[in-house]
Amino acid sequence: MAKLSYVLFVTMLCGFSVNAGIPGGPRPITDEIELAKLTDNITTHLDRFGVQGTNFELVKLHSATVQVVAGVLYETLIEVMEKQNRVNCTMTMWEKAWENVIKVNVECGDEKRKYEWSTDVQPIQPIAFGGFTKLTENGIKYVEKQLTHSFGEMAKIHSKFIYNLKSVVSGSQQPVAGTHYMVTIEVGYGDNETKTCQADMIETLAKILRVKIECGEEIYEIETPSPQ
């Protein structure tokens, strides 16, 4: 009985770790595609301050780190235009996917002027949700990278999955406590055969990928950690 309880405990612990993410120290973000995606998110977050009467325009993302801490914490050093002046600011974004919570804090200039907003206090206009927007060139590259990883993992568990990703033709994305992508893709198989398929991908804030590929009547699904 004691041995069975131990096995059940380990099984539950492993399941919790996969779904919640493993806490750790800050990781510098250096991948160009990941930085481009983060830059797009920062721009969107900064636009939200316009509702409060403070207008920021992102000039440059200098550096960024990400850390899993009961959610996902991004810490960035950015340069912005504020009232026609260039200033350096630190910007932190804490995202808790399972509670649909986002908190953004910005400190600017030598005097550390503070600005903040949160879905806790602005539930009517949460930045975590909205309609689909067309993927940018950087967005397409990012999706191609994530789907290439998913295709490799898919082939390991689905014996009938014979496809390899050639390109993302077009697509759109939607913020949903993470990011939801719907794209049209071109895949290869057999002797230089190709076909057009649809891919539905959700990347959670805890960096879990949920991918569904539809090629005609064939449907394949997989869930994996996002590639680093």
DSSP per position, 1-37: -HHHHHHHHHHHHHHHHHHH----S-EE---HHHHHH
Residue pointed to by tokens 């050639």: 166
Cα dihedral sign, 142-147-150-152: negative
pLDDT at residue 220 is higher than 80:
yes
Q: SS3 of 70, please?
A: coil
Rounded to the nearest 10 degrees, what angle do helices 137-157 and 32-48 cross at?
120
Instruction: Work out the average pLDDT over 193-217.
Output: 89
Give the residue, 115 or 145, on which the prediction is more confident: 145
Q: Which of 16-30, 37-51, 147-161, 203-217 bottoms out in mean pLDDT, i.e. has the lowest? A: 16-30
- The pLDDT assigned to 12 comes to 36
Burial of 22 from C-beta contacts in 10 A (0-12 / 13-18 / 19+)? exposed
Dihedral angle over CA of 34, 40, 43, 47, nearest 10: -140
Residue 60 · residue 46 · CB < 8 Å? no
Residue 141 · residue 155 · CB < 8 Å? no
Instruction: Give first-to-last CA distance, the chain, whole Å.
Output: 40
- The pLDDT assigned to 50 comes to 64
Q: What share of the chain is helix, strand, coil (3-state, %, to 5)?
A: 30, 45, 25
Beta bridge partners of 208: 225
State what percent of residues in the chain have pLDDT above 90.
33
**pTM, entire model:** 0.48
Q: Which of 45-59, 110-124, 191-205 has the highest mean pLDDT?
A: 191-205
pLDDT at residue 147 is higher than 80:
yes
Instruction: Work out the average pLDDT over 66-84.
Output: 85
